[in-house]
């Protein structure tokens, strides 16, 4: 029961042209939105790179940067001053790691980019996934200094793991920041060496050559981040894009404005009078006042009275990708819960109790077996689920069949599994609704696998 794709709902179809131009206008200066995740081995320089980029873009006040510089010098950790732009709590600073998926927004010539920062430390993999699960495109940061690239790339290093993970979560465009090239005197040979190894590997994971761009840079010195480098050693052989231009050149996936409405309820609270407010991210479609939306799995129909977004200048309508607050009427407050879904009544989300998913299993200790009870984490909800069947084990990089009906799935494997829920859930195929087809499996508070919904079975 795949969801309707070919034919957008009539209301939307008639308005496609209007909506698309209004959409562009409301975005302000016609810029499109891009969700970017930054991944790579611990200490590859992710935080420094993005912190420095934000600073060069003017997102960080001179005063604040000065403060970071002084404080970091006092602690003898001056090399971390740019990373502090992203690690902004005391605790994170004293530990020198980024814990949260901190959100930062910056603009390129044609895009408004939301940066989902991803920490590289093993313990924090779940946060990285939260970022990756929402990403349109990714930057893979590699440390090009001698020995370090190899360490991050060898087995156990996170360069491979992260590349496989983001590809498994459906990210197909990648900018590789060949970072810390200052430590190799901007050697073209070193750049080529790193590029060569990565290129072969990324191909086997399923990244097309044409979708991967390699940028020589230094997060620490700021070389080739925003402005073309003036360093002679680099200029001698490189005249390609800066990191910022490379981000600007990535294509935004189709945003789904002209698709049926889908929104997961992220929060519910009382509005004025008898009305209720529902907030969350509008995954697909667009919503305006006086629309009627179907609440699932309950089946109530709500009247939208007012639409608010955090976009300046936006009045009364919201589009796919927006964070939105809807004031709704016609509903008993007790039926609204976080994790419910709102959708177009003419094209409801399928309710299902059994799906097939393609998963990548993380660094788990106890192998996953048939019958295992797990937490199915999906959009804003967590539901109990059972692994009903281990359908097949797949090759982690090529996706080819390794074994049918494996008895168990050990750490770092890929597989097709059947999942069963105790009540009907609103789920979509990843193929149809990228935004709604990704999930994570958790057990005893840690993330054990991430995956995509490949079939709706019942
Ligand atoms: P993360 O763990 O990937 O976020 O890495 P950090 O941004 O925390 O950087 C790790 C260390 O590498 C810090 O000491 C940085 O100062 C250093 N570093 C980061 N980028 C560069 C770079 O481009 N060149 C040099 N020489 N050092 C860098």
Distance in angstroms (rounded) separating the CA atoms of residues 141 and 79: 17
CB 117 less than 6 A from any atom of ligand 1: no
Contact 32, 252 (CB under 8 A): yes
| 70 preceded by a cis bond (ω within 30 of 0) | no
Average pLDDT over residues 8-14: 41
What are 48's two structure tokens? 């420094």
CA distances to 75, 362, 394 from 415, rounded to whole Å, are: 47, 12, 5
pLDDT at 327: 93
Instruction: Kindly report the backbone phi and psi dihedral angles of residue 350, in degrees, each rounded to the nearest multiple of 5, phi listed first.
Output: -65, 140
Mutation pick for ligand 1 pocket among 38, 39, 42, 43 (CB with most ligand atoms within 8 Å)? 43
pTM as predicted: 0.70
Instruction: Kindly report the backbone phi and psi dihedral angles of residue 59, in degrees, each rounded to the nearest multiple of 5, phi listed first.
Output: -80, -15
pLDDT at residue 94 above 60? no
Nearest alpha carbon to residue 69 among 59, 83, 57: 83
CB 72 less than 6 A from any atom of ligand 1: no
| Helices and strands, number each (H, E), in the chain | 10, 24
pLDDT in tens, 339-359: 899 999 999 999 999 999 999
CB 250 less than 6 A from any atom of ligand 1: no
Beta strands in 23-136 (DSSP E): 32-39, 103-107, 111-117
List the single range of 110-114, 211-215, 319-323, 422-426 with lowest mean pLDDT. 319-323
pLDDT at 201: 87
What is the CA(79)–ligand 1 centre distance, in A?
Answer: 7
Average pLDDT over residues 196-223: 92
pLDDT at 314: 56
pLDDT at 142: 94
Q: Where are the alpha helices (DSSP H) in 276-383?
A: none
Distance in angstroms (rounded) separating the CA atoms of residues 125 and 144: 23
What are 137's two structure tokens? 């495109």
Average pLDDT over residues 380-409: 91
Residues with Cβ < 8 Å from 228, sequence gap 6 or more?
235, 239, 242
What percent of the chain is helix, strand and coil (3-state, nearest 5)? 25, 35, 40
What are 273's two structure tokens? 């009078």
- Tell me the sheet residues that pair with 117: 38
Distance in angstroms (rounded) separating the CA atoms of residues 259 and 343: 11
b/e map 431-454, b = 16+ CB within 10 Å:
ebbbbbbbbbbbeeeebbbbbbbb
Q: Which of the pair, 84 or 290, is modelled with greater confidence?
A: 290
Mutation pick for ligand 1 pocket among 219, 222, 243 (CB with most ligand atoms within 8 Å)? 219
Distance in angstroms (rounded) separating the CA atoms of residues 355 and 352: 7
Mutation pick for ligand 1 pocket among 79, 100, 104, 147 (CB with most ligand atoms within 8 Å)? 79
Average pLDDT over residues 97-126: 60
Residues with Cβ < 8 Å from 140, sequence gap 6 or more?
39, 40, 159, 162, 163, 166, 174, 175, 176, 177, 198
What is the CA(189)–ligand 1 centre distance, in A?
Answer: 21
pLDDT at 30: 65
Kindly give the number of the ligand 1 atom that is closest to the alpha carbon of 51: 7
Residue nearest to atom 15 of ligand 1 (CA): 79
Residues with Cβ < 8 Å from 214, sequence gap 6 or more?
176, 178, 191, 194, 195, 198, 199
Contact 320, 258 (CB under 8 A): no
Distance in angstroms (rounded) separating the CA atoms of residues 212 and 173: 6
Distance in angstroms (rounded) separating the CA atoms of residues 453 and 427: 8
Contact 179, 141 (CB under 8 A): yes
What is the CA(43)–ligand 1 centre distance, in A?
Answer: 6
Q: Which of the pair, 17 or 228, is modelled with greater confidence?
A: 228
Residues with Cβ < 8 Å from 336, sequence gap 6 or more?
265, 268, 276, 278, 295
pLDDT in tens, 299-326: 999 999 999 876 655 567 888 877 788 9
Contact 439, 377 (CB under 8 A): yes
Distance in angstroms (rounded) separating the CA atoms of residues 218 and 185: 11
What are 281's two structure tokens? 């991210």
pLDDT at residue 12 above 90? no
What are 5's two structure tokens? 């794709």
pLDDT at 321: 76
Q: Which of the pair, 332 or 390, is modelled with greater confidence?
A: 390
pLDDT at 113: 85
Q: Which of the pair, 83 or 179, is modelled with greater confidence?
A: 179
pLDDT at residue 3 above 70? no
What does the mean pLDDT of the chain come to?
82
Nearest alpha carbon to residue 176 among 243, 110, 253: 243
Average pLDDT over residues 395-421: 92
């Amino acid at each position: 029961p795949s969801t309707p794709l070919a034919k957008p709902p009539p209301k939307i179809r008639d308005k496609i042209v209007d909506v698309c131009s209004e959409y562009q206008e409301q975005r302000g200066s016609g810029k499109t939105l891009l969700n970017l995740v930054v991944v790579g081995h611990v200490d590859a320089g992710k935080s420094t790179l993005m912190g420095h980029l934000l600073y060069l873009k003017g997102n960080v006040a001179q005063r604040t940067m000065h403060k970071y510089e002084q404080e970091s010098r006092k602690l003898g950790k001056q090399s971390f001053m740019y990373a502090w732009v992203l690690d902004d709590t005391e605790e994170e600073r004293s530990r020198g790691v980024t814990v949260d998926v901190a959100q930062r927004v910056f603009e390129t010539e044609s895009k408004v980019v939301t940066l989902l920062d991803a920490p590289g430390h093993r313990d924090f993999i779940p946060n990285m996934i939260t970022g990756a699960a929402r990403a349109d495109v990714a930057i893979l940061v590699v440390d090009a200094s001698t020995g370090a690239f190899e360490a991050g790339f060898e087995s156990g290093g996170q360069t491979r793991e992260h590349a496989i993970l983001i590809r498994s979560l459906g990210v197909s465009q990648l900018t590789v920041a060949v970072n810390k090239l200052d430590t190799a005197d901007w050697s073209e040979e070193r750049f080529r060496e790193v590029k060569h190894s990565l290129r072969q590997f990324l191909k086997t994971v399923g990244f097309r050559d044409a979708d991967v761009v390699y940028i020589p840079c230094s997060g620490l010195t700021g070389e080739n981040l925003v402005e073309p480098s003036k360093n002679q050693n680099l200029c001698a052989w490189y005249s390609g894009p800066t990191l910022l231009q490379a981000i600007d050149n990535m294509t935004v996936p189709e945003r789904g404005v002209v698709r049926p409405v889908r929104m997961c309820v992220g929060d519910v609270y009382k509005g004025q009078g008898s009305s209720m407010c529902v907030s969350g991210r509008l995954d697909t479609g667009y919503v305006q006042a006086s629309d009627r939306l179907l609440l699932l799995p309950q089946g109530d129909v709500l009247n939208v009275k007012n639409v608010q977004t955090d976009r300046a200048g936006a009045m009364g309508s919201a589009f796919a990708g927006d964070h939105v607050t809807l004031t709704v009427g016609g509903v008993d407050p007790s039926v609204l819960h976080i994790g419910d879904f709102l959708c177009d009544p003419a094209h409801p989300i399928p309710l299902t109790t059994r799906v097939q998913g393609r998963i990548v299993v993380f660094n788990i200790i106890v192998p996953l077996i048939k019958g295992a009870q797990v937490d199915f984490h999906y959009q804003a909800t967590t539901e109990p689920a059972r692994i009903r069947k281990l359908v097949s084990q797949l090759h982690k990089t090529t996706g080819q069949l390794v074994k049918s009906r494996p008895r168990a799935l050990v750490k770092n494997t890929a597989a097709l599994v059947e999942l069963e829920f105790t009540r009907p859930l609103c789920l979509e195929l990843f193929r149809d609704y990228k935004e709604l087809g990704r999930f994570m499996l958790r057990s005893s508070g840690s993330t054990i696998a991430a995956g995509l919904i490949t079939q709706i079975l019942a």
